[in-house]
Every structure is written in structure tokens, then in C-alpha cells.
Structure 1
Amino acid sequence: MKIAVLLPHLRTGGIERGMLSLLQRWPDDSGLEVILILQSRKGDLLDHVPPHVQVLDLQGAKVVGGSKVLAYLLHREAVDLVWTATNAANVMALLAARRMGRRRAPRLVLGEHIPLQAFLDTRRFAPLRRAIMRQLYPDAVAITAPLQPILDEHRAMIGRRCPPCVVLPNPVVDAIATARPLPDRARHFVTLGRLSPEKGYDLAIQAFAELHKVQPDARLTLHGDGPERDRLQALIARLRLGDVVTLAGAVPDAQTAFRGADMLWCTSHVEGFGNVLVEAMAHGVPVASVNCPFGPAHLLAGGRGGLLCDTRNPEQLAQQIAAFAQDRVARETAQAEGFKIAAGYTKDSAVQAHVAFFQSLSDNSDGSDTVGS
């Protein structure tokens, strides 16, 4: 079976990195040939595409116009199945399939990675987008997501015509580290991710300002870059935290960010999954996270795998983190549980799950009775 992966681009992002991790480990003997179609052939991750994977370019075409070009490429390349990973790519692929007609069109597997309501809340013309999804998504043979709550939202919106829904694990870590000794009190706190509004790093800085009042030797390092950098730098200056809070910029890998870290903080408004939480747990770094939709509660096992905070109040958040920072036994317990959780998201195990899913579709020409619930 020939599968076309459709992505907007290959700029650094969680979805893009995850897809490349799968393609880099895709077994040659799987019976599944994979090609890559990009809406725009751009991004710093292009150099990481495996040499045997063909890359096709839609040359920046928008969703509606691009669906015509995509339909042509899918027919020319004799693609059997299209596998998408973003909402825009989903709609483009569905429109292309309709252009091709039911007998000529490949089957479609739609990937979703962001909580639906949180996604729609940030988009213009949300009612129209919702209507389009209700109309088109039933054409797919399956919808996949890394977490069940994301699928539940889509099933509730689409209703009885919803395709089968399948949870497929994100490929996050290469291996699980050995346990490292934890200090009596955590002093060095870190964040890791793009400096963008949805990550809520202003809350991290405000909470740290409160924590620093009772723990003067604490420091906070924010790893990553993005559009919020200047605003966050101004906030650090306004709170007079320049000596203890650092915007360290981008890092080549998670291991670099976690070197010397005593705890990872997550203060996002929404985390469809939360790869960085898994990366921290795999490295033995305890995690403290606000409880946002949907990743943290799932990945931290309701609080067993780390500190899960049901507040966005800086002072209350600081109090909870300070207590966790001083409780080595609680952090050691979370570390041990975190290793178990992270083991479910190794890159090799994720590849196995994805290959098995697509082989099940290959074995059944119409995709019925083979996937999801």
C-alpha cells in the first residue's frame, strides 16, 4: 500500500518532529511505501527527511486551490491512502478526494493533535469551520489522535456519521534514562517550548516571582524562542527578576535543557498532548503542570506522575510548587511513576503501533471492522 503523508511544511514543531521520527524508523519490510507531500516545501527539518522518502511540493497552495493540485498528484502517484496531521491538511485532503470521485480517490486517515474546542476558539469563522468538518470528516476511514479526549470531542461534534476513532501514541523519546538522585530541595526550574501565547509563560514568570520571595536561591530558565520573547523579557524586567530568570533561547535537544534542571514547569493554556512532559519524565526530571486540556492530566496520571495544579493564580501556583520542591519523597515517587509513563511513548513503540494500524487498513480494502471504536 502506498501512503502519502500530507503536512503544511517542515518547520520545527511537535507534529513535524513526530512525523519525521516515524518516517525515520519506518520499517522497509512493512509493505507500506510512504511519500511526503508538503503544502510548502519549507522548514529547517527538511534535511532530516530520510533519503528514500519522496517529497512532493504543492508550492504554497491554499486549502481550496491546493486541493486541485493535490488531487492531480494523488492520481499521478497512484496513492492508496492519505495520512494527514493538521486540520488544514485534513480539509485539503478531503476536498481533493471529492474532486477525484469515490472510485478513484484514496482512503483518508485524519490526524488531530489539538483539543477541538481550544482550536476553534482561536480561529476565525469557527462556526463555518465546524460545519465544514461535520460535512467532510465522515468521508474518512478513521480519525487518529494521541489522546482519547481529543477523539471524544470530534465524535461528539460529528455525531453518528463519525468515522472510527483510534488512539495512536506520539513518538517522543529514544530511551528511558536511569534514575538520577534528586536534591533535598528543587532550586533550578525550567520550561521548554516555543515562546508563544498558548504556552502561558507569563504565568510561569509571575508564579516564580512569588516563589522567589520564599526561596531566594531559586532560579528559572526558559528554553525556546518565539514571538513572545520581547514581551516576556519586559515582564522579567518589570518584576526585577533579571538576575534569576533567563530566556536561554532554543536548544538542540531536550537533554541539553534538562541538564542541571531540578523540575520542569508547564503553564500552558492548552496541551493536546505535551511531548515535553514525557521528555522530562524520561530524563528523570520531576514535572509540575497546570491542569489544562488535555495532556497533563493524562500524562501525569491524575497527579501520580508529577504535580498537577488546578489553578492559574500565580500565588497559589507558587505555593503548590514550593511545597513539591521541598518534598523529595514526593518528587522521587513522581520520578519513578514518570519513568513508567514515558516508557509508553518511545519512538520504537510508536512506530510499531502506527505500522500495525496502517497494515490493518491494508489488509481490509474498505477499512471496515478494523479500526477504533
Structure 2
Amino acid sequence: MKVGILISSWRGGGAEFVARTWADKLVERGIEVVRYDYAGTGDIPGIHVKHFPRRSALQSALALPGWLRASALQDEIDVMLSMLTYSNLAALVAKVRGMKTPLVISERNLASTFLPLEGRSGKIELRIAERLYRRTDRAIAISHPVAAELVSRFSIARDRVDVVPNPALPENPRRVPRSPKLRILAVGRFVEQKRPLLFVAALAVLSKRGHPVSGVFVGSGPMAQEIVGLAEDVGVEIELLGWREPWWQAIDSASCLLLASSVEGFGNVLVEAAACGIPSVAVPSALGVADAIVPGLSGILASDDSPEALADAVLAASKLPMPTSPINAWLQRFSVENSHRILHDTLLRAASRE
């Protein structure tokens, strides 16, 4: 089997990490992989790369599907895997225009909620996805909530949607000591979707209740000054460590991790925290986090997204014992081996047009 992977770049966020991990494992198993990208960054030994010529945004949108169709034919690709919404749409347009290669799209987020946050371009992508996603041969969802949306919102048949767990389990996690005082972690970009100001507001509630509390941010982004300003206004102690990789190596102790995001397709950081012995708190209305946390075992789902509810959940999570045996058994679902096994089965079914 010869697999093509369409993604904008080999470096960047979570989807790019997953693409690299999957590609590495496919090659390790003797499967030839060709990567098609349209940002032209980063190479990996053993993987053939084709770069789409750089053009203006409009020219790229018009020419990318034709280039992909011709490349898939020339390279004799058995199955094409596209990653993220823009790549999915480009591959689907190529399919509509005559690409014969079986196509598997991979959706990493709750598109109907996430894309409108990106403004006009995101709303346009959503409207096109509503018309084209059903044309795919198979679809991969990062979580069960994303799979449900692919079926209900985008009209993909249930038997053509596969949930492939993210290979989010760290290879060498470090068990982080529990802090005797409330020391709450936030890991990720400082952007509206992650709601870092809500994180600070929850800490302020805990402080007003008389709990000595501090917050640690591992990440970066355009809202850094707003975070610092709000923390000063409400009298909460915080640290901004910048981005560290892996993030848990920068943490000497913690009580729990709080993911205050408004929407998540999954939430790798929740799995990573569990592997490090750190309980987590997430907001259930973020939806995708439900696959990344075991309530009462690896963390707590807050009752709602108010600062008070998050504060209650933080107190409950910080008392969880985090038993190693049952948590490790659950974590194996997110191992590289398990993720690759399910991915491989999905690609085989698509290639054989089952």
C-alpha cells in the first residue's frame, strides 16, 4: 500500500505532530508514504515529499486540487489521507474533479463551532464542508463528539466514520509531584478559544474563598498581556513560563491542570497530564474533551463554564488519588501502537473501497 498525506506543513500544532507520528509508523511497517504539502516546511528521512509551488492565497485555492489530482495519479497513490479542514476541502475538490484515488479526510476539531471563530474565511470553509464532506470515501475523527458531528452535521454515513485516537501518550512521561498548595496549570496557546482569562477568574474565586492558590501558564500567544493585567487586578499570583517541550519537564509540582477552552476536538494535554500523574479539569461544553478525561479517575468535568463551577472542580480534582494501574490501562488507548493499528485498518478499508 502506498499512502499520500496532504497537510499544509510538517511542523506546527497537534495535527502536524499526529501526521508525523502516523507517517513514521507507516514507514516503519514497510508502507511507502508520500507527503504533499503547500507550506514547504520540514522533511523527515524515509518520506518522499512533494511541495506545492508557493502562490497567492487565491491562486493556491484554485490550483491545489488539480495539482493533488495529477500528483496522486503520477505517484500511483493507493489511498490519500488529508489532515485539517482546508486540506480536506482541497482533496474533496480534487475528487469531484476526477481524482480516482480513495480519499480519507481527517477532522481534528468540532468544525461547526470552531470554524466560525476564525471569521469570514472559517465560515466560508464551513459552508463548503457542509456540501463536500459527504463525498469522502472514509473519514477519521479525533474523538467521538467529532465523529457524531461528521455524521449529523456533514451527512457522512456512520459506517464510513472511524474514531482514531490521537497518539497522545508520551513515550517517557515524568510523574510530576503533587503540590501541597493549590498550584494550577494551564498549557496551550494564549488565544480566545483557550479562554485564559476564565482560568484566571477561576483562580480569583479560589483566592476569595481563602485558598492559597497560584497559576502556571506554559505557552504563548497574543493574550499574554491581558492575562498578566487581569491577574494583577484580581490579586492572583501567576507565572508565564513560555512554551516548553515537553511541557511537563518545566513543572516541579502541580495540584491539577485546568483546560478552560470553549471548544476542543479532543485535548491532548489532558492525556499528557494523566500520564504525568496530574489530575485535570475541563469544561463539558467543549465536547471533545469527553474522550480525553475519565471523570472521577483522571479528572473532573465541571458542571458549567462559570468561574465558580471551575473553582469547585479544581478543588475536587486536586483531591483525586490518580491510581496508576487503572489510569495506565486507559492511557494505552492513546499509545502510538494503538493509534497506528486503527489508522492502518481505516486506510486498508478505504483503499479496498469497503
TM norm structure 2 = 0.88
1:296 aligns with 2:292: no
Q: Which residue number corresponds to residue 210 of structure 1?
A: 205
Could you list the per-position Cα deviations for residues 103-157 of structure 1 after superposition, in whole angstroms to 9, with x for gaps in the alignment? Answer: x521110000111321243242777544432432233210111212212212112
- 8 A contact 1:220–1:245 mirrored in 2: yes
Within the candidate set 64, 80, 84, 2:62 is matched to 64
Q: Which residue number corresponds to residue 135 of structure 2?
A: 139
Within the candidate set 109, 118, 122, 1:114 is matched to 109
Q: Which residue number corresponds to residue 32 of structure 2?
A: 33
Distance 1:303 1:181 in 2: 19
Name stretches of at least 5 consecutive residues in structure 1 with no aligned partner.
369-373
Q: Secondary structure at the match of 1:159?
A: coil
**What pairs with 1:287-326 in structure 2 (closer than 5 Å)?**
287-325=280-318
Q: Which residue number corresponds to residue 248 of structure 1?
A: 241
| Structure 1 residues 223 and 28: CA distance shift in structure 2, 3 A | closer
Q: Secondary structure at the match of 2:321?
A: helix
Could you list the per-position Cα deviations for residues 295-321 of structure 1 after superposition, in whole angstroms to 9, with x for gaps in the alignment? Answer: 322322344431110222213322332
Q: Which residue number corresponds to residue 273 of structure 1?
A: 266
Q: Which residue number corresponds to residue 371 of structure 1?
A: none
- 8 A contact 1:177–1:284 mirrored in 2: no
User: Residue type of the partner of 1:39?
Assistant: Y
Identity of aligned residues (%): 23
Distance 2:210 2:325 in 1: 26
User: Residue type of the partner of 1:143?
Assistant: A
**What pairs with 1:92-171 in structure 2 (closer than 5 Å)?**
92-99=90-97, 101=98, 105-122=100-117, 123-124=119-120, 129-159=125-155, 164-171=160-167
For structure 1, which segment, 351-360 or 83-92, has the greater mean C-alpha deviation from structure 2 after superposition?
A: 351-360
User: Residue type of the partner of 2:256?
Assistant: M
- 8 A contact 2:27–2:47 mirrored in 1: no
Within the candidate set 46, 50, 61, 1:52 is matched to 46
Residue 194 of structure 1: CA displacement?
A: 1.4
| Structure 1 residues 320 and 313: CA distance shift in structure 2, 3 A | same
| Structure 1 residues 21 and 341: CA distance shift in structure 2, 3 A | same
| Structure 1 residues 238 and 152: CA distance shift in structure 2, 3 A | same
Residue 71 of structure 1: CA displacement?
A: 2.4
Q: Secondary structure at the match of 2:120?
A: coil
User: Residue type of the partner of 1:339?
Assistant: N
Residue 216 of structure 1: CA displacement?
A: 5.3
- 8 A contact 2:176–2:277 mirrored in 1: yes
- 8 A contact 1:258–1:280 mirrored in 2: no
| Structure 1 residues 323 and 361: CA distance shift in structure 2, 3 A | closer
- 8 A contact 1:110–1:143 mirrored in 2: yes
- 8 A contact 1:176–1:343 mirrored in 2: no
1:221 aligns with 2:216: yes
1:356 aligns with 2:354: no
Q: Secondary structure at the match of 1:246?
A: strand
For structure 1, which segment, 266-275 or 161-170, has the greater mean C-alpha deviation from structure 2 after superposition?
A: 161-170
TM norm structure 1 = 0.84
- 8 A contact 2:283–2:303 mirrored in 1: yes
- 8 A contact 1:258–1:285 mirrored in 2: no
Q: Which residue number corresponds to residue 87 of structure 1?
A: 85
Q: Secondary structure at the match of 1:227?
A: coil
Distance 2:8 2:205 in 1: 41
**What pairs with 1:340-351 in structure 2 (closer than 5 Å)?**
340-351=329-340
Distance 1:26 1:159 in 2: 30
Distance 1:115 1:3 in 2: 26
Distance 1:234 1:178 in 2: 32
- 8 A contact 1:192–1:224 mirrored in 2: yes
1:73 aligns with 2:68: no
Distance 1:360 1:270 in 2: 31
User: Residue type of the partner of 1:317?
Assistant: L
User: Residue type of the partner of 2:154?
Assistant: I
Within the candidate set 274, 280, 285, 2:278 is matched to 285
Residue 178 of structure 1: CA displacement?
A: 8.3
